Chains A and B, each alone.
Chain A
Amino acid sequence: MAKKKSTNNKSQSGGNERSYVLAGILLAIFGITIMLMGFWTSISAQRYNSTSSESLELLADMSDELRKVNENVLEIVSNVTDMSDNVSEITVSFDKIEQDEAQFEALPFHSDAEMKRYHQAKIFMAAYRTKLNSLQTMLSSNALDLATMKNYYNQDISPLSFTASEMLESAKYLNNKNTKILAKRTRQLSLVTSGVTVFLLIIGEIAIIVAARLAKRRREDLERKTKQAEAAANKFKHSQQKMEEIAFTNILTNMKNRYALDNDIGPRLDTDQFNIALFDMDGFKIINDTYGYDFGDEYLAQIAEKLKAEYSNIAELYNITGNSFAFVFNKDVSDVQSTRYAQNILMTMTGMFTVANLKVQLTASGCIYHYIPGDCQNLSGLLVKMDNVIRNAKRSGGNAVFTVDSI
């Protein structure tokens, strides 16, 4: 389970890394796009501004030349005798206008409206020139007098020149206006660009903060879970110990039990030499039958307490069954000493005890076994051997410690 959990964490953190990288790439792309947009905007604005001022100059130039033509025409109308200079000046002006027209038309960025007005101006300028040419031919061949020329001026020339110059002015006006609008758009675009930049920066900041918070929360989660797991593991270990204690302890007397004995000397049977004594109260069944199990338990508990108090320092004490106690003497206790101790133990057990204000005393039987390595296969074999000896002791009147004969 723990393993599964850890792989889960791993895949999650892997996902996080990917999304951070993705977010980083996206931000970088946005940044680059905005930079390019800004760059493009400024380049195109520059290019537009230069061509727009160029086309405005050309329109203004055409307008000037047209004005010169008008001045010359007015001079001709007022004084026909000195016409040749005016005629050549008119020709120069119209040639200049045609050059300007070619240049103007080659430039980009004209708005539709501007082009429309320009084309009207162009057509009227051409009509103006044609009309002037025909009048000049008539004048030079003396087919036209001054008065008639004046009339022609009013009814034919003036409307053409007026319309041509008004349309040129309109084209200039629209060009200017368009420039202003485009400048405004450029400003707006750069505003939008910087707005988006700021916006993205803020989003980036927010994303980082959010990501950091999420990461922190996840780390805290992990720490808390680890602590919980540790606590659970500790608890488990503790209860395992407790279970072991329970398994190897007699609950009533709080002495080690038969399993503990098996655990302790089982491994020693083939290798160690040791002294072990086993005791059993004689006729304990009568106590239980007469006074009840609670009384019997209390009696045994008192015996156990007394044995622990007196013999814990020389032997390991075990409560094998209800009233059967085993003593594994320490290694420094010799065979002879162990035999004597066994007599002492018997005395202790058969002493007077006060249980529930009643004085009770029973005899006990025991046996002492000076164990030699390899004597028994297992604990059962050992206990059977010792039980047989105790049974013999009981049969022969009890209240005695017999010795197990070594084979």
Chain B
Amino acid sequence: MNRKKGLIKRLLVSSVALSLALGLSGCGNANKSNGTIAVICQAQGVQFWDQVQVGALEAGDELDYEIQYSAAEKASDIEGQRALIQRAINNKVDGIVVAPNSPSELNDVLQAADTAGIPVITISTTASYSGTKSYIGSSNSEAGAIAARQALTELGATGKIGIVGHSETANNSKDRISGFTTLVNSRNQPTTGMDESGNVVYQSKYEVVETKYSENGTRDDCKKVALELIAAHPELDLIYATNENSTLGVCDAVDESGNTGKIKVIGFNSNDAEITYLNTGTLTGTMVQSPYNMGYLGVRYIDALRNGEVIRKKYDTGAMYVNRQNLGSEQIQLWLDPSRSE
């Protein structure tokens, strides 16, 4: 009798255990089961890339991916980034989202990823390798053009402009500069007539006096470059900077050289220090992209690719011009921090 009771008890316990095991395994599988995506950015300690990371992680949570986030030490660190991409390939990740530090020098390792069957999406800046699946970011030349239009509005009829590029090689740096200078030059049209002294009278006259590049893209180096630029061209009316560190370096230099207010600064991105400069007036305006969207969509479109969906070759995440006047508007606040919408 006792033995039978024991038997029934054991059977009951084991049946409960079995159903629990089946049930739990059903639930547990959903966690991060879709794979791993490497997100590799340009530089460490830059708020812009931190925002990319936030977006990527949120997409990873929503779509059940483990996100392996990493960044080169600085934007000029091509070999460091190559090692990160190679490591991701070795780890057999399911996709790579990368902001390449060089437009062409990383093509070999990007091709290696492609050959290994790992889809690559570039964000923020492009690479010339044709095997990447998509580019997600601002149109850098368009952002440069917007910045130029705003710069000319700020300058009025005439002005001398200097440019500090964060990198001589990175595509985003080059495109932002070319977009900027192209528009400036298009507006730089002499009009009819000469004055009494025989000089040509311009309806509007703008001049990009010099474009200097930082060697390693750090804030300190950009500041050094900007100080050299200011020293070489004391008549400068405006400096255009192409990313977060270069904008901060230029602002540092303008303040340090006592040119606050005299030399206007138009830059890129919107970290806390830049917002402070915007409020103090050193920074006239800044082109704000959506790094969160770049990170989020980068991961999302890797997942879409893996599910066999066809995705576009390019997604323009857009850029907005932010100055002290529109900084407080709801639209700009949303743009600066998409996770606020929760």
Interface residues of A (CB under 8 A from B): 12, 15-16, 19, 23, 26, 113, 116-117, 119-120, 123-124, 127, 130-131, 151, 154-156, 158-160, 162-163, 166, 170, 173-174, 177, 181, 185, 188-189, 191-192, 195-196, 199-200, 203, 206-207, 210-211, 214
27 CB < 8 A contacts A-B = A12-B1, A119-B342, A123-B334, A123-B341, A124-B334, A127-B330, A127-B331, A130-B331, A154-B142, A154-B146, A155-B146, A155-B320, A159-B319, A162-B317, A166-B297, A170-B62, A170-B300, A173-B304, A185-B27, A188-B22, A192-B19, A192-B22, A195-B22, A196-B22, A199-B15, A199-B18, A199-B19
Min CB–CB distance B162 → chain A (angstroms): 23
Known: A130-B331, A162-B318. Is A19-B11 also a contact (CB below 8 A)?
no
**Residue with the highest number of chain A CB atoms closer than 10 Å, among B22, B304, B330:** B22
Q: List the B side residues contacting A16 at CB < 8 Å.
A: 1
Q: What number of B residues sit within 8 Å (CB to CB) of A?
A: 42
A120/B341 in contact, CB under 8 A: yes
Q: List the A side residues contacting B7 at CB < 8 Å.
A: 207, 210
Chain A CB within 8 A of B268 CB:
no
The CA of A188 and the CA of B7, in the complex, are separated in Å by 29
Q: List the B side residues contacting A154 at CB < 8 Å.
A: 142, 145-146
Other A-B contacts than A26-B12, A119-B341, A154-B142, 16 sampled, CB-CB below 8 A, are A16-B1, A151-B146, A155-B149, A156-B320, A159-B319, A159-B320, A163-B293, A163-B338, A166-B293, A173-B304, A174-B62, A192-B19, A196-B19, A199-B19, A203-B15, A214-B4
Q: List the B side residues contacting A120 at CB < 8 Å.
A: 338, 341
The CA of A127 and the CA of B331, in the complex, are separated in Å by 6
Q: List the A side residues contacting B1 at CB < 8 Å.
A: 12, 15-16, 19
Closest 9 A/B residue pairs (Cβ) = A159-B318, A188-B26, A113-B62, A127-B331, A192-B22, A155-B146, A120-B341, A196-B19, A123-B341
Q: List the B side residues contacting A196 at CB < 8 Å.
A: 15, 18-19, 22
The CA of A115 and the CA of B331, in the complex, are separated in Å by 20
The CA of A222 and the CA of B18, in the complex, are separated in Å by 39
Partner of B319, one of A12, A155, A200: A155
Q: List the B side residues contacting A203 at CB < 8 Å.
A: 11, 15
Partner of A159, one of B22, B63, B290: B290
Min CB–CB distance B167 → chain A (angstroms): 24
A131/B318 in contact, CB under 8 A: no
Chain A CB within 8 A of B316 CB:
yes
By beta carbon, the residue of chain B nearest A162 is: B318
- Produce 1/0 per residue, B301-338, CB < 8 A to A: 00010000000000111111100000000110011001
Chain A CB within 8 A of B112 CB:
no
A200/B15 in contact, CB under 8 A: yes
The CA of A163 and the CA of B27, in the complex, are separated in Å by 33
The CA of A200 and the CA of B14, in the complex, are separated in Å by 11
Partner of B61, one of A113, A166, A192: A113
**Interface SS, A side:** helix
Chain A CB within 8 A of B198 CB:
no
B8/A207 in contact, CB under 8 A: yes
Q: List the A side residues contacting B145 at CB < 8 Å.
A: 154
By beta carbon, the residue of chain A nearest B34 is: A177
Considering the complex, which residues of chain B in the window 181-236 have a beta carbon less than 8 Å from any beta carbon of chain A?
none
Chain A CB within 8 A of B258 CB:
no
By beta carbon, the residue of chain A nearest B16 is: A196
Q: List the B side residues contacting A127 at CB < 8 Å.
A: 330-331, 334
Q: List the A side residues contacting B30 at CB < 8 Å.
A: 181
Min CB–CB distance B232 → chain A (angstroms): 31
A185/B26 in contact, CB under 8 A: yes
By beta carbon, the residue of chain A nearest B317 is: A162
Partner of A210, one of B4, B12, B15: B4
Chain A CB within 8 A of B156 CB:
no
By beta carbon, the residue of chain B nearest A121 is: B341
By beta carbon, the residue of chain B nearest A117 is: B62
Q: List the B side residues contacting A12 at CB < 8 Å.
A: 1
Known: A155-B146, A159-B320. Is A192-B8 also a contact (CB below 8 A)?
no
Q: List the B side residues contacting A189 at CB < 8 Å.
A: 23, 26
Q: List the A side residues contacting B22 at CB < 8 Å.
A: 188, 191-192, 195-196
Min CB–CB distance B184 → chain A (angstroms): 15
The CA of A26 and the CA of B5, in the complex, are separated in Å by 13
Q: List the B side residues contacting A130 at CB < 8 Å.
A: 331
Q: List the A side residues contacting B27 at CB < 8 Å.
A: 185
B4/A163 in contact, CB under 8 A: no
By beta carbon, the residue of chain B nearest A114 is: B62
B316/A158 in contact, CB under 8 A: yes
Known: A16-B1, A163-B338. Is A192-B318 also a contact (CB below 8 A)?
no
Partner of A206, one of B11, B297, B304: B11
Q: List the A side residues contacting B296 at CB < 8 Å.
A: 170
Q: List the B side residues contacting A214 at CB < 8 Å.
A: 4
Partner of B63, one of A19, A158, A177, A199: A177
- Produce 1/0 per residue, B129-171, CB < 8 A to A: 0000000000000100110010000000000000000000000
Min CB–CB distance A158 → chain B (angstroms): 5
Q: List the A side residues contacting B293 at CB < 8 Å.
A: 163, 166
By beta carbon, the residue of chain B nearest A126 is: B330
By beta carbon, the residue of chain B nearest A218 is: B1
Partner of B331, one of A15, A116, A160, A206: A160
The CA of A376 and the CA of B325, in the complex, are separated in Å by 152
Min CB–CB distance A206 → chain B (angstroms): 7
Q: List the A side residues contacting B142 at CB < 8 Å.
A: 154
The CA of A185 and the CA of B62, in the complex, are separated in Å by 17
Min CB–CB distance A185 → chain B (angstroms): 6
By beta carbon, the residue of chain A nearest B26 is: A188
By beta carbon, the residue of chain B nearest A120 is: B341
A163/B11 in contact, CB under 8 A: no
B318/A163 in contact, CB under 8 A: yes
Q: List the B side residues contacting A26 at CB < 8 Å.
A: 12
The CA of A119 and the CA of B339, in the complex, are separated in Å by 10
